[in-house]
Amino acid sequence: MRISFIGAGRVAHHLAHALSQHHQIIQIYSRSLESAHTLAVQVGATATVNISEINPEIDLMLIAVSDQAIASVIAEVHQHLADVLIVHTSGSTDIEVLAKVHARAGVFYPLQTFSLDREIPWSDTPLFVEAKSEDDLVLLTELANQLSRRVYQYSSAQRLSLHLAAVFACNFSNYCYDMAKQIVDAQQVDFSLLYPLILETAHKVTQDDPKRMQTGPAMRGDENILNMHQQMLEDAHREDLKNLYKLMSRQILQSHHPQ
């Protein structure tokens, strides 16, 4: 299959590298020539910053840009790719953002966190596909199966719920790790001492219902510890962390000790 990309960021980087093992990457478009060129060289493609130079002789165009840019991108490129299947890689953007402009529209969404300096375990990464036509859905499913053993044909509404859940499971939890590190750094305590706890917590929620796995002073309703922790944060002049601690503790209390 002949595949091109619009976007040269983290998602495009990892998908282009993965797909280049099975298919020919033709072109990388980006507003930054340097970014487009860097990725293009790595996957044996050409780079461009001009929409008018997009090669229409392809089978698939993947739009891997920020969510808010997808609508403007499809408005610009669809006329150059009238008969080409165009998909976006977003978890939170409805397929109709493409379909209302372009007939052959689809979605190719990997549920994963992407960093340029870390490899992606593609075989275990869930991939979600959607398309306006049955033929294109079959094509995208086959493409996804080449990368992952966990491929799902989900609707936009289902995918959006996953994306929202992923913010809680990944982005918010990572910020909790950041806050934890700030707390121990202030006392010159080694953050790595928390690694076994972090890993065991993550492992447990893959084995059972997260609510059943909840531990800690709020789950136990231990007001003495809750008050002590909040006082520590107040003494450290961390009203921001104190407010978050109170909010999250209150939610856990309400969940496990409903009035």
**Predicted confidence (pLDDT) per residue in 50-76, tens digit:** 988 999 999 999 999 999 999 999 999
Q: Are residues 102 and 49 in the same domain?
A: yes
User: What CATH number is attached to the domain comprising 247?
Assistant: 1.10.1040.20
Q: Please choose, from the candidates 108, 102, 84, the residue with its C-alpha nearest in 3D space to the C-alpha of residue 156.
A: 108
Last residue of a domain, one of 154, 186, 216: 154
| 201 pLDDT above the threshold of 90 | yes
Q: Please choose, from the candidates 41, 10, 65, the residue with its C-alpha nearest in 3D space to the C-alpha of residue 51.
A: 65
Q: Are residues 122 and 189 in the same domain?
A: no
Q: Are residues 45 and 141 in the same domain?
A: yes
Last residue of a domain, one of 154, 186, 212: 154
Q: Are residues 205 and 242 in the same domain?
A: yes
Task: Identify the DSSP state of 211.
Answer: T
Mean pLDDT of 205-216: 92
Angle between helices 173-186 and 239-256 (to 10 degrees): 130
Range of the domain at 145: 2-154
Q: Are residues 136 and 172 in the same domain?
A: no
For the chain, how many structural domains are there in total?
A: 2
Q: Are residues 135 and 41 in the same domain?
A: yes
The rounded Cα 234 to chain-centroid distance in angstroms is 34
Angle at 253 between CA 248 and CA 259, to 5 degrees: 135
Cα–Cα distances (Å) from 165 to 88, 160, 169, in that order, read 20, 9, 6
**Predicted confidence (pLDDT) per residue in 84-106, tens digit:** 999 999 999 999 999 999 999 99
End-to-end CA distance of the chain: 59
Q: Are residues 112 and 35 in the same domain?
A: yes
What is the reported pTM? Answer: 0.83
User: What CATH number is attached to the domain comprising 105?
Assistant: 3.40.50.720
Cα–Cα distances (Å) from 183 to 83, 127, 194, 202, in that order, read 55, 36, 12, 21
Q: Are residues 8 and 121 in the same domain?
A: yes
Q: Are residues 78 and 187 in the same domain?
A: no
Q: Are residues 128 and 54 in the same domain?
A: yes
Q: Are residues 201 and 164 in the same domain?
A: yes
Last residue of a domain, one of 154, 185, 211: 154
Mean pLDDT of 119-133: 95
Q: Supply the pLDDT for residue 118.
A: 87
Lowest mean pLDDT of 114-118, 183-187, 225-229, name the range: 114-118
Q: Are residues 217 and 119 in the same domain?
A: no
| 44 pLDDT above the threshold of 80 | yes
